Chains A and B, each alone.
Chain A
Amino acid sequence: MKNRKNLYVLGGIALLAIIPLIAKTIDNGYLQTLTFFVMMFVSMSVAWNIIGGYAGQISFGHGTFWGLGAFTTAIFAIRTGLPAWLAMPIGGLVAMLYGMSWGYPTLRLRGPYFAIATIGIGEATRLIMLNLDQLLKNSPLDWLVKDKPFTGGASGLILPSPNDFQANQLLLFYICLGFMILTIAISAWINNSRFGLALRAVNMDQEAAETLGVSASRYKVLALMVSAFLVGVAGSLYAQYVLFIDAREVFSFSNSIAMVLMPTVGGIGTLWGPALGALVFKVADDRLSSARFMLGGMQINLGDVNLMLYGLLLVLIILFEPGGVLGLLKRLRKK
């Protein structure tokens, strides 16, 4: 049983590894880009699940970590002229410190109050990043924006182009694959560790956990920091892949929503559910954005109504299958 599972995992990794080799021949490389994004979203979903699933603290503020990872990378690449991938750990670190700074006060809040606070943090962060260049002008930090934009405001930042675009995309693909494996491995380790036991205890009954000696706030902040670091690295990968970012897009609320949606669709609080959810979500998103049909003489683009469809999906899952796709699969297998 255990061996078979390992075989599946190895098979999956091998399959992903050969995708860039075959993508050219089947659809001119689109499959490679789609797979890159699926792997990035799997990492984000699995990382969100550490605080949102294991510890049960539903964060709508994870978009801030992703955006900070992306901006740290862009600013690093533009200002140092060094290869952008060197900024990946720095992007993660910046996101982690940011997570620690707002995690300490907000993780004292319970249940929906924490979730609401994270929405506020996400929105505030987006607005600050969007207007940061204006705020810095004529301030003591004026030198940051003197010769070139810092965050670029609404016009965004363009990263220096790599010498060989194709080779860079290929390199990023394999870095992303490695990063996804690392993220899942960290999540698996936490799931089986003393740390994970504390998070699950806090999730199920914080007061009972505390009377048994679990220092709830310490473990929750730690979980948020690990989660933030990983999402920050994913943001860094994103910036390197698309080479253009702006605050409105990378800090948009829909990214935060996606990180809540994917684990919920797949199976919140489990190891493989969030990965599965990200796969379903991203592939469906890709198909939907180009699908259209005629209704009463009107052309409907499904890409325009996809948020509505996700909302509907979320309601259906919460009502009928709280275990998500993974829970559904398990139930079908029992029958």
Chain B
Amino acid sequence: MLLDCKNLTKRFGGLIAVNDVSFNVARGEIFGLMGPNGAGKTTLFRLISGVYPPSSGTVIFNGKNITGFKPSAACASGVVSTHQIVRPFREMTVFDNVRVGAEFGRKDPKHNVTEVVNEILTFTGLAPQTHVVAKNLTLPSRKRLEVARALAANPDLLLLDEVGAGLNPTETSGMMDLIRQIRERSVTIIMVEHVMKAIMGVSDRIMVLNYGQQIALGTPAEVAQDPQVIEAYLGKQFAK
């Protein structure tokens, strides 16, 4: 197992955002994370990537306990996340944005930083915009930049938080192709996505959260049939 989360819980005051969630992700897997708004998906991401320390529970990554690691330390261990709302370094060029990941992420001693950046810009289709200042990019390009930057940090596990949100169907399918290609680079992926067709089509397994609790875990087909999932999304009358 690449990632093993045990009994993860996060409380904010009286609110339990993530409640006793356990799951594991195998190397090379694309693992989908679904749930209605406020289900705790982003919080769960933040527990793994170290933005929040969990209230209880453990995160084992690559056999190492990384629970409560700061984001920069989690990144050094090989866990990198993207942000739900894209957060490019606005005044920097696309090249420099990606260079941050390449300089400060896990260094690959075989390649120099410029090589890594250029390769990733080509891979993500951002090469024509190399010298564009990030604030001038269109939304689809910003989404790609978010992924490119994270990839430059050379992760084993990439957490993608709604990289398809706000994209039109063509752009979304382009993004899903990119995600499949990332897996070919032997990067394991956990993704949160609201676009059903996208997440069902690309994930090997899916976990569904509702009110911070895990209500289903299985292949896309199993999850889609699960009465609890249908109830959470559509209401009781549709769940037979």
B partners with A: yes
Q: What interface size band does chain B fall in?
A: 20 to 34
Q: Which of B21-70 contact A (CB under 8 A)?
A: 49, 51, 70
B89 near A205: Cβ-Cβ < 8 Å = yes
8 A Cβ contacts from A235-262 to B:
none
| A204 touches which of B80, B92, B150 (Cβ 8 Å) | B92
- CB pair A211–B99 under 8 Å, yes or no, is no
**A residues in contact with B81, CB < 8 Å:** 211
Assembly CA distance A214 to B150 (angstroms): 12
In the assembled complex, the Cα of A207 lies from the Cα of B50 at a distance in Å of 11
Chain A positions within 8 Å of B149 at CB level:
212
Determine whether the beta carbon of A212 is less than 8 Å from that of B75.
Answer: yes
Q: A204-B90, A205-B87, A205-B89 are in contact. Are A212 and B49 (CB under 8 A)?
A: no
**Contact residue range for chain A?**
10 to 19
Contact with B along A199-213 (1 / 0, CB 8 A): 011001101111111
What is the minimal beta-carbon distance from B80 to any residue of chain A, in angstroms?
A: 6
Looking at the assembled complex, report how far the CB atom of B42 sits from the nearest CB atom of chain A, in whole angstroms.
13
Residues of B within 8 A of A216 (CB): 72
Binary contact readout A277-298 vs B (1 if CB under 8 angstroms, 0 otherwise) = 0000000000000000000000
Contact B87 A214 (CB under 8 A): no
Report the Cα distance A205→B80, complex, angstroms: 16
Is the beta-carbon distance between B100 and A212 smaller than 8 angstroms?
A: yes
CA A212 – CA B120 in complex, angstroms? 15
Q: Min CB distance, B35 to chain A, in Å?
A: 22
Q: Across the two chains, which residue of chain A brings its CB closest to B81? A: A211
Contact A213 B101 (CB under 8 A): yes
Let me know if A94 is at the binding interface, CB within 8 A: no
Nearest CB on B from A60, distance (A): 24
* List of B residues within 8 angstroms of A210 by Cβ: 70-72, 75
Among B99, B100, B101, find the residue whose CB has the most chain A CB atoms closer than 10 A: B100
How many A-B pairs fall under 8 Å by CB?
74
Residues of B within 8 A of A194 (CB): 103
A215 within 8 A of B: yes
**Taking CB as reference atom, which chain A residue is nearest B154?**
A213
Q: Tell me whether A212 and B153 are in contact in the complex, defined as CB-CB below 8 angstroms, given that A200-B89, A204-B91 are known contacts.
A: yes
The yes or no answer to B183 lying at the interface (CB within 8 A) is no
Tell whether, in the assembled complex, residue B75 and residue A201 are in contact, meaning their CB atoms are under 8 Å apart: no
Q: Which of B72, B74, B83, B152 contacts A214 (CB 8 A)?
A: B72
Does A197 contact B72, Cβ atoms closer than 8 Å? no
Separation of A198 and B70 alpha carbons in the complex (Å): 17
Taken together as a complex, chains A and B put the C-alpha atoms of A80 and B140 apart, in Å, by: 66
Contact of A213 among B87, B89, B104 (CB under 8 A): B104
Contact indicator A213/B99 (Cβ below 8 Å): no
Give the distance in Å from the alpha carbon of A201 to the alpha carbon of B51 in the complex. 17
- B192 to A: closest C-beta gap in Å: 15
* A194 and chain B: residue at smallest CB distance: B103
A59 to chain B, nearest CB (A): 21
* Contact A197-B87, Cβ < 8 Å, known A207-B51, A212-B80, A213-B75: no
B75 closest partner in A (C-beta): A213
Are A212 and B105 interface neighbours, CB within 8 A? yes
With contact pairs A210-B71, A211-B75 given, residues A201 and B89 touching in the complex (Cβ less than 8 Å): yes
> Cβ of B100 and Cβ of A209 under 8 Å apart?
yes
Cβ contact of B104, chosen from A200, A207, A212, cutoff 8 A = A212
A213 and B96: CB pair below 8 A?
no
The reply on B202 being an interface residue by CB < 8 A is no
Task: Judge whether A212 and B99 touch: CB under 8 Å.
Answer: no
The 4 closest A-B pairs by CB, nearest first: A213-B75, A213-B104, A210-B71, A204-B89
Known: A208-B87, A212-B105. 14 other contacts (CB 8 A): A197-B96, A201-B89, A204-B92, A205-B88, A205-B90, A207-B71, A207-B83, A210-B72, A211-B80, A211-B81, A212-B75, A212-B101, A213-B76, A213-B106
Sample of 17 A–B contacts (CB below 8 Å): A197-B103, A201-B89, A201-B100, A205-B90, A207-B71, A207-B83, A208-B88, A209-B104, A210-B71, A210-B72, A211-B72, A211-B83, A213-B76, A213-B80, A213-B105, A213-B106, A213-B153
